A and B are shown apart, each in its own frame.
Chain A
Amino acid sequence: KAGVTQTPRYLIKTRGQQVTLSCSPISGHRSVSWYQQTPGQGLQFLFEYFSETQRNKGNFPGRFSGRQFSNSRSEMNVSTLELGDSALYLCASSLALAGSTGELFFGEGSRLTVL
């Protein structure tokens, strides 16, 4: 079955712009999480959605937001981009909230470069 699909894979923006990233989870998966990976901070949790509701949020400013649609697809938005927002943004899906193995399935990520 198809894995987690993230679009776009690569994008370049300038400071002050905004960006929207999209994630389609594995068919049947209802939980979607977002992570940011940077060389300095590693992999950091942004937020998690389940049944269109945000269930968990990481320590990121309000410029980072997300949503989940009724088909479980998710988007995240970053407004007023800063240079430090350059990162690989990873989406992960899971069948349920707090599943029995803890496993999350990750997409290949969206590489954002802010100039």
Chain B
Amino acid sequence: DQQVKQNSPSLSVQEGRISILNCDYTNSMFDYFLWYKKYPAEGPTFLISISSIKDKNEDGRFTVFLNKSAKHLSLHIVPSQPGDSAVYFCAARKRGGNKLVFGAGTILRVKS
């Protein structure tokens, strides 16, 4: 069963505009939600996380929003830059350990 879903396989955005990546989850036993960025043949790089008790977390150009009632989170990147082009994974951490459940990923292309 897919507990974490990223329904958009890809997203294309113009440089300088906002990129919004979405993620849905089905399990309430997650205590943290994270976003990772990945380039081919490299390991994922952590971007930002949010505790399940928060609604929003910001770090520079990256903001994550969590809607617990809808079991939905989103990552906003403002402004988008060509270097942001990569695969973005949403992940959720199960309580009590470091096990992450990943979504399928969304390919972001930022056009200059």
Contacts and interface: CB of A to CB of B under 8 A. Distances in A.
> Do A and B form a real pair?
yes
B49 A48 contact: no
A62 interface: no
A25 to B, nearest CB: 12
Interface in A85-115: 88, 90, 92, 94, 97-99, 101-109, 111
Chain B, interface residues (CB within 8 Å), range: 20 to 34
Secondary structure dominating the interface of B: strand
B45 A104 contact: no
Interface in B85-112: 89, 91, 93-105
Contacts, number: 75
Interface string A56-78: 10100000000000000000000
Contact of B98 (A31, A44, A88): A31
Contacts of A35: 100, 102
Interface of A: 4, 31, 33, 35, 42-45, 48, 55-56, 58, 88, 90, 92, 94, 97-99, 101-109, 111
Interface of B: 31-34, 36, 41-46, 49, 51, 89, 91, 93-105
24 contacts: A33-B98, A35-B102, A42-B105, A43-B44, A43-B91, A45-B99, A48-B98, A48-B99, A56-B94, A92-B43, A92-B98, A97-B96, A98-B93, A98-B95, A98-B96, A98-B98, A101-B49, A102-B31, A102-B32, A103-B34, A106-B36, A106-B44, A106-B45, A107-B43
